[in-house]
Structure 1
């Protein structure tokens, strides 16, 4: 099988797996202690968590703290609900459902429009009563880079906090500046599933959303040292390999544009993550394409919304019709994708698309 769905999840890096193994809980390891216990084994586990927190913190700006969560979705909920601003929430039209749905659960958010390339409009004025702005660093469906810093300036003018969903940008780009809170996920940077993090700028106060022991200060629940260690190792590796991974992604991107000549790219060709290619072809039956190419793993949109049956809100936000949105596919390569795999996948996808007429 050929895996081209790295925006949905990434394979676990061998370095992250090796970091996790000692803490997986075997009775013969003496490394299964609760990191919140005061005895020796607890302190050993706590030390592993502390190291991991420092490694993950290196993905963020200076001047903040890292709170481990069960996912980026939880981190986003903690940020939005925990801010308790009482004012209006503004979000870009192409935010992940974790941001948009949470904002809608608390009221009617102000929607920041995007242009035809999928970039948030920095000329759109925020309402004067805006208290929180949500804008992602990199869109998960079409890969466009967002002007986080410019929107943060607007937010400051109305006294609003800024939340940045950096799930698709962490470890690939420099951390977004100007944000007050940043959410990321381990399994999008070759770490384990089941753990995320929220970075909170010093001075920003949040209300806990999961009560109990408050082991993380703002979040209750026993931390999993194995997941933390894997997250930390993945974060460290991502920082070390950032330039190398970016060059590899760009080489695959350049080749993909040739391989998929005749398809239309959705989103900006310049302001983007070069590991994400969202393309469409007139009259394409995506469900049939997936059936005909079962050995190629790709997506018709966000994995979180794949069962909705609705056209992508991201693609319709950039001006595509429902029909055009439904003829689009997302290909996402990563650190371990080879050029041969990309070329083989393109050959199979193109042949299957041509056979549809």
Structure 2
């Protein structure tokens, strides 16, 4: 699975850096093309010559060496994945805070490929609150973290913080590239963001949805090999390259776009916060302030999830979202049944860090049989992985 894969290995200043000779040999033996960037401190633990010999590529260590500064952007574009191993506590802090004082950090900050790290540090450093905060920050940026192991450390102590063994890292990379093909050939429709229901040319009825959750799900679907179409309401966020984007404003426009795309779709994820009501009539001119009360007559919008559930054919998988403030489980299960969905993702505004206006989310997923799968508060990038993993598990269960 690693045959022909382009892996950019970043080595930082940690005693575990000596194991990069083993890791490089394993990656090359598996057929990967390995290029290596080292921090100045890493050279105290393993020589560039050793890694250059094993990788069969020149190892870069300095900002101005061999036009490295000019080429740092291209390295991140060349790679299929960037692996930083070992990741020291110092380099972790730099990644979390955007510090760019060496070539490796410059490459990391400009990388367009997926990034995964394998931390290595002493147990007390690993358990320090600042380390946990920095790990959470880089996860929220979309970086993956290979879990540390429990074992003998450089200090002589035994505990957590030991870098995953080279064989385990190779196994993680192999699984990563296998996952990239999990949804190959599948067409996915995702809605994201709010809808704006116009009152007049200036004002509208809307909500605080940012579209970040939908964008994260779209990116993860794309990473798994799917052909992704996003119908997005008025949002300012960007979407991953290679995703077909259809921009809409109102609930009516989103309904029309979804109904047009859905017939050719294998998986539909309705994560947008669509307005339930819209003004009966939009004023042609700006409504002026008066001394009296202002009354707006509203009518129900078309229920996108319900219509998709009614037209769903065998083999299509439909996912709805439920944002609730009370009786959360009851309403989520009711929505699952009445909308003929295959899965409901529940958010509760009673959970800290969930819902609109956060970079995190806390969800519970309900499947067709009503089974609940609760998850802890995570970054929306990690939540997207949980959602996509659950969809794939449900698809496999339906087949068998």
| TM-score > 0.5, shorter chain as reference | no
More strand per residue: 1 or 2? 2
TM-score when normalising by structure 2: 0.25
TM-score when normalising by structure 1: 0.27
